[in-house]
Amino acid sequence: MNPFDKFGKKAAAAPAPHPHDDARYPVRKSEAEWRAQLDPMQFEVARRAATERAFTGRYWDHWQDGVYRCVGCATPLFRSAEKFDAGCGWPSWWQEIEPGRVERLVDTSHGMVRVEVRCATCGSHLGHVFEDGPAPTGERYCINSASIDFTPEA
């Protein structure tokens, strides 16, 4: 996987495994605060970079109009208009709602090189971005349902 984004900017190396302790994120909470806010699956995915099983998350086959927000801080991350069926079992988008809402980090776990995506506001792990998506970006943000909440269009 190419660790550079479409603008030629290299993804940052992943910091320590507990991003909620990272002072670069505007929203920071203690582990106890995160555990109180998130259910066990949300905590493992968003705060410990776990991955839910394919075709099991609540949003992989969800097509209502609205906005998908970070489960940790409610930052708007993706719109339903850019969501597509990638056939992978996880909700997928071809672009984020606005540049800079999603942070890219090089992930070398599991014997491969991928680009991890996190909420740029609180550091919650969202999933990964791949270069096999549709036009116009050619990207596929493969996101765990446990990392996001949905707000229907008004």
Q: Is residue 29 one of the residues assigned to a domain?
A: yes
What is this structure's pTM?
0.86
- Mark whether 88 is an active-site residue: no
Q: Which residue has the higher pLDDT, 3 or 26?
A: 26
CATH of the domain at 26: 2.170.150.20
Q: Exposed/middle/buried for 152, CB within 10 Å: 0-12, 13-18, 19+? A: exposed
Q: Is residue 38 one of the residues assigned to a domain?
A: yes
Q: Is residue 105 one of the residues assigned to a domain?
A: yes
Q: Is residue 76 one of the residues assigned to a domain?
A: yes
Which structural domain range is residue 137 located in?
Answer: 12-152
Contact criterion met (CB below 8 Å) for 92 and 86: yes
Does 88 appear as a known binding residue? no
* SS3 category, 148: strand
Beta strand extents in 18-101 (DSSP E only):
66-70, 76-79, 83-84, 92-93
Q: Is residue 1 one of the residues assigned to a domain?
A: no
Element (H, E) at 102: strand 102-107
For the chain, the domain total comes to 1
Confidence band for 143, pLDDT divided at 50, 70 and 90: very high
Does 122 appear as a known binding residue? yes
Q: For residue 5, how many other CB atoms are within 10 A of its CB? A: 15
Tokens of 105: 């980090």
Q: Is residue 64 one of the residues assigned to a domain?
A: yes
Convert the pLDDT of each residue in 94-110 to its tens digit: 999 999 999 999 998 88
**Which residue shows structure tokens 């909440």?**
149
Lowest-confidence segment of 11-20, 107-116, 144-153 by average pLDDT: 11-20
Does 73 appear as a known binding residue? yes
| 129, 142, 143, 146: the active-site residue | 142
Say if residue 6's pLDDT is above 80.
no
